[in-house]
Structure 1
Amino acid sequence: MTQAEGAATFRSATDMYGRFVGRYAPSLSAALIDTVGVDPDNRVLDVGCGPGGLATALAEIVGQENVAAVDPSPPFVSVCRARLPAADVRVAAAEELPFPDGFFDGAFAQLVVNFMTDPVRGVGEMKRVVKPGGSVAACTWDYRDGMTMLRAFWDAAREVAPGESEQFDEENMRYAALDELTGLWETVDLEEVEGGELSVTVEYEDFDDLWAPFPTGIGPAGAFCASLEPERQQALRAALSRVLGDPEGPFELSARAWYVVGRA
């Protein structure tokens, strides 16, 4: 699966996105903002905003009027605009940000960099629109180990369809390791580059609550699930439940993301 194909898998029902990785947005946004730092008088940009999880968290600090957000998906932009009517929310790609040089105090990209068509250009654009000395920050899941929900899914997929799942498995994503992220920031000549891990925990009502988004085709994991015939979807469902310990009733999962921040 190419990066563009991976990005396209998120352009489905926005409510299912909220039940999928979107449910991690509040805690992950808070962790990223706390790590990077945002002042109440800042003007900030959310690149690849989706339905507005990070943009909403930023608005709680700086006010909606000081938040701009972009996403290439019109449905996501519509949802983000509805959530933040006073923010400047536009349909745009990271590689062509519709803002002047040095316009923002900070630019953020949450769970987006590895889906950019051209990450060097995309992060370079983030740098361009930030004032000298301002923050350029991002985070991506640790797909290879620390994002429990997705790692469990792909481990289950390898049981059910070992050959077919390989091309979808997100452990092969670019920038899924800290050194890759910091290397990208250094490539675009950002200064004072540093990175580390962010750890969050989310709650599920039950296993059905976790499973529901997968058959809808959202994300690379959902696209793989939706590609299977019904019998193998059920086999995958059973395998995923086993990998997670056959949870009954409410349960929690942890997730680790890598963050990077540099100065423009």
Structure 2
Amino acid sequence: MGRWSRVVAREFLAWLGCADGLRWLDVGCGTGVLSAVVTERCGPRVVVGCDRSEGFVGAAARTTAPASGAPRFVVADATALPARAGAFDVAVSGLTLNFLPEPADGVRELARVVRPGGLVAAYVWDYGDGMGFLRRFWDAATAVDPDAAALDEGRRFPDCRPEPLHRLWTGAGLTAVSTTAIEVPTVFTGFADLWNPFLSGQGPAPGYVASLTPTTRNRLRDTLHAILPTAPDGSIPLTARAWAVRGVRG
């Protein structure tokens, strides 16, 4: 999924339409993709990215050129940010909220660290039915193993929809709340291009694949292959949708 995160970040920032010269905080920055795109496109005064994973923060720092205006990365918990109230003009979070034990706590922290009139915004993948390749993966997995339904991100992450996101933002006291869909093409060159990442063992779907016996894994592979749309050239054209939300601190 990481190969499309930069594309989604660009669309997200275009939707926000923020002015230059602002102070940005990127919460749950991962390897720094959103922070990098903010730096490239938004003319920020400062960008700070934070993540609770030291490994992600280290990777983000290593891939960022040490230059004036480059993002700075720190280890921090999204629900207890080490920043004073009102320290930033914009607080954003990309593809992170659904992994927080209490997403509402994270949104309240985002709201706390922006100044009055500042912007709080985030986006998450639409795991329910907007991620074409994941939707088909879990449909195939459930057909092979009904117990796989309990691991389906579409069921596990019910907040990844516009209505729950809107409630999270208004519940944190934010105003002028709005949501939008961001759709990007996810074209795979062939079945191997789609299937092989599921063999990595990292993430919910790959972790599930790693738990299977070779026989069941092969059944899953063949079932998935059979339900995918395939173009004449062998490519697999799908789309991925994220939901974005924004609001203003009063």
- TM-score in same-fold range (> 0.5): yes
CA contact (8 A) 2:230 2:236 kept: no
CA contact (8 A) 2:22 2:44 kept: no
CA contact (8 A) 2:10 2:37 kept: yes
Cα drift, residue 61 of structure 1? 2.3
Partner of residue 216, structure 1: 200
Partner of residue 167, structure 1: 150
- Which of 43, 49, 52 matches 1:72? 52
Q: Deviations over 1:161-220 (max 9, x none)?
A: 112x12210111131211000001111111111112111113323221222221222221
| Between 240-249 and 148-157, the greater mean CA deviation after superposition | 240-249
CA contact (8 A) 1:106 1:136 kept: yes
Partner of residue 29, structure 2: 49
Return the alpha-carbon distance in structure 2 between the equivalents of residues 93 and 203 of structure 1.
Answer: 34
Q: 1:110 and 2:94 equivalent?
A: yes
| Between 146-155 and 229-238, the greater mean CA deviation after superposition | 229-238
- Give the letter for the 1:260 counterpart: V
Partner of residue 262, structure 1: 247
Return the alpha-carbon distance in structure 1 between the equivalents of residues 53 and 23 of structure 2.
Answer: 23
Partner of residue 164, structure 2: 180
Cα drift, residue 40 of structure 1? 2.1
Q: 1:80 to 1:160 in 2, by over 3 A?
A: same
| Between 107-116 and 212-221, the greater mean CA deviation after superposition | 212-221
Cα drift, residue 89 of structure 1? 0.4
Trace 1:210-249 onto structure 2 (pairs within 5 A): 210-245=194-229, 249=234
- Give the letter for the 1:263 counterpart: V
Cα drift, residue 64 of structure 1? 7.6
- Which of 191, 196, 200 matches 2:175? 191
Q: Deviations over 1:69-121 (max 9, x none)?
A: 11122221111111224322011121011212111111111111111122111
Task: Among all aligned residue pairs of Structure 1 and Structure 2, give the percentage whose two residues are the same amino acid.
Answer: 39
Cα drift, residue 48 of structure 1? 1.0
Cα drift, residue 221 of structure 1? 1.3
CA contact (8 A) 2:21 2:44 kept: no
Partner of residue 129, structure 2: 145
CA contact (8 A) 2:22 2:45 kept: no
Q: 1:64 to 1:237 in 2, by over 3 A?
A: farther
CA contact (8 A) 1:65 1:87 kept: no
Q: Deviations over 1:122-179 (max 9, x none)?
A: 111111111111111111122111111111111111111112x122101111312110
CA contact (8 A) 2:228 2:236 kept: no
- Give the letter for the 2:134 counterpart: L
Return the alpha-carbon distance in structure 1 between the equivalents of residues 186 and 230 of structure 2.
Answer: 17
TM-score, reference length from structure 2? 0.91
CA contact (8 A) 2:20 2:44 kept: no
Structure 1 runs (4+) greater than 6 angstroms displaced? none
The alignment covers a number of residue pairs equal to 243
Q: Considering only CA atoms, is the larger Rg found in Structure 1 or Structure 2? A: 2
TM-score, reference length from structure 1? 0.86
Partner of residue 82, structure 1: 62
| Between 147-156 and 37-46, the greater mean CA deviation after superposition | 37-46
Return the alpha-carbon distance in structure 1 between the equivalents of residues 151 and 224 of structure 2.
Answer: 16
Unaligned runs of 5+ in 1: 1-20
